[in-house]
Structure formats: structure tokens, C-alpha cells
Amino acid sequence: MRVFVIDDSPSVVATLRRVVEAIKGSEVLSFLHPSVALKRLDDQTPDLILVDYMMPDMNGIEVISHVRKNALTAHVPTIMITSRRETDIRLAAMKAGATEFLNKPIDEMELTLRVRNILDIEEARLALAAKAATLQRDFDAAMQRIERHEEEIIWRLSKAIACRHGETADHLDRVAIVTRMIAEEVGLDAGQCRMIFLASALHDVGKIGLPDTILSKPGTLSPDERRQMQQHADFGAEILSDSSSELIQIARKIAESHHERWDGAGYPKGLSAAAIPIEARIVAIADVFDALCSKRAYKAAWPIADAFREIVNSSGTHFDPACVAAFCRRWTDIKALFEAQNSDDDATQIPTLQLSRGSA
């Protein structure tokens, strides 16, 4: 245990040093000048400080104040040594953060007991802190393992769902990546961005409840078939309901509301503006953009530039203007992503957007 002794009297320093060093496991660093001692605090953090009250350039109360203001030493116990008995001095020292007082002339037995007691307490505190740090590391490692398993389960499930309704894993990957870009640009924190990134993969989980005749139909859906298709939002909400997992709760919001529109003309509830969960507003843009750029059984793929214009033109009607603005700010990254994955795409025609099908 490292102890700082600060006193302008060499004889007092010698006495303090001798007594404290006799305590098992103690190392003493002594200083005749408080300013020198304070400079050492950044390099060597003590476990206890013994400081005299009356010194030429700085008194003990001022030293203690500096110790408490230093983040590295704010917790360090201090004993102020003084021959003064005035109550106001002791109150000022306590207000500054003094732990104990020791009167001059120094009683070596009292000094030994006070120092030993404080060092024992400090040693126990350090042991608890070390144990807590170990437990925190173990907890963090366990959480990382859980998060990795959680991610794997989400992605494997979502890819199985994609296969069920004829989409590819690339679609889920792109939607998730664009979702994260928009979430970051909107200003959500890293934890929220990760959650939305993962949860977006389950946006169409409700399609598992739709018949193949609708999912695989190459032509335009009839009004009745379109109503059945729209039920996938409710199915998704039901599948993901009543979970204690924050990730699944976010996935539920997205599955239920990613087809709502900013102007209230969407489904299943006809929500509008800020009543639509922010997670769903973000995924809606990523999902529609990828759907426009992807070839489906009922349509050809749109050129990336035309899909971009469609998103921009739908700001304030289909999509949240703030989310569209965030999408635009990340356009360079989004464009690079789609150009890299669609380099072999030779689509040249702009078909009519059919909002009754697929992710659109």
C-alpha cells in the first residue's frame, strides 16, 4: 500500500516515514513541498495521504481539495495532521474531504492504528473493486456470446423466411445495412442502431402465414389477394408479440408497421407521421428501395438512380421526411453497396410500382 507523507518539517517527515514503514506492506513516498506531491499524483496514485495543515506555500486543506478534484485520486483517504484545535479549521478540512485528523505532537501508537485501519479498509475496497472488474469482464464476455448467438438465430430464421417467399438472403442483408445507415444518420445511439439492424431482418416474418399461391403469383394480385397479402403485417406482429426481449419487441414494431405511410394511407392501422414507430419508418425506406432495385416474379428491377428518385419524391407522403433526408445524406454509401451487388444487373426499363406486392 502506497502512502504519501506531505510535511514541510524534515523531522516530522522522518517520524511519519519510520512509523508508517513499520506497518507491513506499506511503501512511503515523502514530500517537503505540497506542489511536488500533487504533481506526482498523475504518475503514482497513493492509497493514503498524510498531510500537515500548516505549510508555507499551501496548507493541508488546499492540498486535500486538489486531491479530491483529481479524478484519479478523488477516492483516496486523507489524514490531516495539525496542532490547531479550532473547530472552523476542522470543519473546513472535513468539507474539503479529509477522512481523519491526527493531532500534534504525534502519538506513534495512535498514528499506527489510524493508518493501519485505513489501509485495511482501502485494501478491502481494492479487492472488491478487482472482484467487481473480474465479474464485469465475465459478464461482458457472456453478453457478447449471447449477442452473437442472438444474431445468428435472427439471421438464420430470417433467411429461412426469405426462402419461403422467394426472396434472397442478399435482400435481407441490404435492407439491414441500409437500415443501419439511416438509423445512424438520424442520430440514434449505437445500441439502438444495432437493434434495428438485426430486427429489420424479421420485417416480413408474417409472410410465413400466407399461402404459396399469393407469395409466388407472377401477375397482379386481385383485390382479395391484396387484402390477404396485407395481413402479413398483423401476422408478423402476432408472431413476435409478448416477448421480454428488447430486440424482439423492436422487431414486432417493424413487422407490424413497416407498411404504414407518413400520410396515413398505409396498413394495417393507417397510422401517420410520428405515430408510426421510428424503427418502422426507417425500415420502410430501406425495404422499398431494395424492392424497387430487385427483380421479382411480378416486375423487373429498377435502375438505382430511378429508385433513389422514387424515395425522394415520396418524402412527406409515403416516407418520413427526416428519414428520407438521412437516406440522402448516406446516398454515396448506399449507392456503392447496390452497385457492388448489382453490377451484373441489366435492367433498363422503369416498370409501374406495384405497392400490393412483396416488400413494396
DSSP code string of 220-280: PPPHHHHHHHHTHHHHHHHHT-S-S-HHHHHHHHHHHHTT--TTS--SSS---GGGS-HHH
- What local confidence, expressed as pLDDT, does residue 156 receive? 79
| Residue type (1 letter), 46 | P
**How many Å apart are CA 183 and CA 170, to the nearest integer?**
20
**How many Å apart are CA 121 and CA 89, to the nearest integer?**
26
For the chain, give the percent of residues with pLDDT over 90: 64
pLDDT above 80 for 358: no
Q: What DSSP state is assigned to residue 46?
A: -
**What angle, 0 to 180 degrees and rounded to 10, lies between the N-to-C axes of helices 246-257 and 190-199?**
60
How many C-beta atoms surround the C-beta of residue 172 within 10 A? Answer: 23
In this predicted model, which residue has the larger pLDDT, 63 or 360?
63
Q: How confident is the model at residue 221 (pLDDT cuts 50, 70, 90)?
A: confident
Lowest mean pLDDT of 49-53, 148-152, 189-193, 288-292, name the range.
148-152
pLDDT above 80 for 92: yes
In this predicted model, which residue has the larger pLDDT, 153 or 51?
51
**What angle, 0 to 180 degrees and rounded to 10, lies between the N-to-C axes of helices 169-186 and 321-329?**
100
- What local confidence, expressed as pLDDT, does residue 165 receive? 62
- Segment 224-247, tens digit of pLDDT: 999 999 999 999 999 999 998 899
- Segment 294-320, tens digit of pLDDT: 887 677 889 999 999 999 999 999 999
Extract the C-alpha cell encoding 108: 506513534
pLDDT above 50 for 143: yes
Q: Are 80 and 98 in contact (CB under 8 A)?
A: yes
Q: Are 234 and 256 in contact (CB under 8 A)?
A: yes
Q: Are 204 and 214 in contact (CB under 8 A)?
A: no
**How many Å apart are CA 200 and CA 255, to the nearest integer?**
8
- What local confidence, expressed as pLDDT, does residue 25 receive? 80
pLDDT above 90 for 171: no
Average pLDDT rounded to a whole number, residues 250-264: 97
- Segment 265-282, tens digit of pLDDT: 999 999 999 999 999 999
Average pLDDT rounded to a whole number, residues 124-133: 91
Element (H, E) at 164: helix 108-164
Extract the C-alpha cell encoding 51: 498531510
**How many Å apart are CA 79 and CA 258, to the nearest integer?**
63
Q: Are 288 and 360 in contact (CB under 8 A)?
A: yes
Q: Are 102 and 83 in contact (CB under 8 A)?
A: no
Element (H, E) at 36: helix 34-40
Q: Are 294 and 338 in contact (CB under 8 A)?
A: no
Residues in the chain: 360
Lowest mean pLDDT of 162-166, 175-179, 260-264, name the range.
162-166
In this predicted model, which residue has the larger pLDDT, 262 or 142?
262
Q: Mean pLDDT across the chain, nearest whole number?
A: 88
- Segment 322-352, tens digit of pLDDT: 999 999 999 999 999 998 876 644 433 333 3
> How, if at all, do strands 78-82 and 48-52 pair?
parallel
Q: How confident is the model at residue 200 (pLDDT cuts 50, 70, 90)?
A: very high
